[in-house]
Chains A and B, each alone.
Chain A
């Protein structure tokens, strides 16, 4: 397979974003300070630091997503060779998914998937 086009697109993407940043650094006048550093138009002035603690719920969601992402990764090869391997492989993957569904039900029952 020819990956030249992928490389070309990746290069184009990097050039577009990086070029924009570099061009603005080169051509735009820079003298920050005063009103320019304040939250612009849509922003409220923050009370205290804007570095706040995030809810641990985000992390749990991401972790559970990661686990089922890995599960999906293991199902791709199955989909490719499904016709050749047939019933036995179906059973194997069935057990695999069943074990993970136990985990999903556990997380569900513990209320981790509920938001606030």
Chain B
């Protein structure tokens, strides 16, 4: 179990590095798929099969297709140039460092590892992660659930408005 986690974790981190290192954007995207699949495996180790399936279905399936379309759309040809440190790169670097510091702070602080409250591994495996998620999503968290539909609606309308301008 622990060995599987270490293997998946190592491959996931290495392929995430591959996304940055690869010269060709298409190779980067493929490396990202590998990372997504490893994360899916880690979710299965955490007993949340539903999240694992969604991870593979949505991220490795749909979002990667979107990335590849963007690569084709913007016509990014591999140049072999290394990254120059201009302003956008520096801003992105700053945000990444800040995010990393925040996540590190979470782990250093008073954090409770493992299953919380009533959601122990036994409870999850008894009802299944989908059932538990459904019970919470349509019971306690109705408002966030309905807010998701608004969010998705905004995404559709935004995509249509921005894309339509280029289509014409």
Contacts and interface: CB of A to CB of B under 8 A. Distances in A.
Contact of A73 (B54, B149, B155, B167): B54
B101 interface: no
Interface residues of B, number: 44
Contact of A99 (B66, B70, B149, B159): B149
A62 to B, nearest CB: 5
A63 B159 contact: yes
B163 interface: yes
B149 A100 contact: yes
Contacts of B44: 3
A93 interface: yes
A81 B134 contact: yes
Contacts of B75: 51-53
B149 A54 contact: no
A80 B127 CA distance: 10
A5 interface: no
Contact of B157 (A78, A89, A106): A106
A85 B134 CA distance: 9
A103 B145 contact: no
23 contacts: A1-B49, A51-B75, A53-B73, A58-B73, A63-B163, A65-B65, A67-B155, A69-B61, A69-B62, A70-B62, A70-B152, A76-B130, A77-B50, A81-B135, A85-B138, A85-B139, A92-B145, A100-B149, A100-B153, A106-B156, A106-B157, A107-B160, A112-B163
Interface of B: 4, 44, 49-50, 54, 57-58, 61-63, 65-66, 69-70, 72-73, 75, 77, 128, 130-131, 133-135, 137-139, 142, 145-146, 148-150, 152-153, 155-157, 159-160, 163-164, 166-167
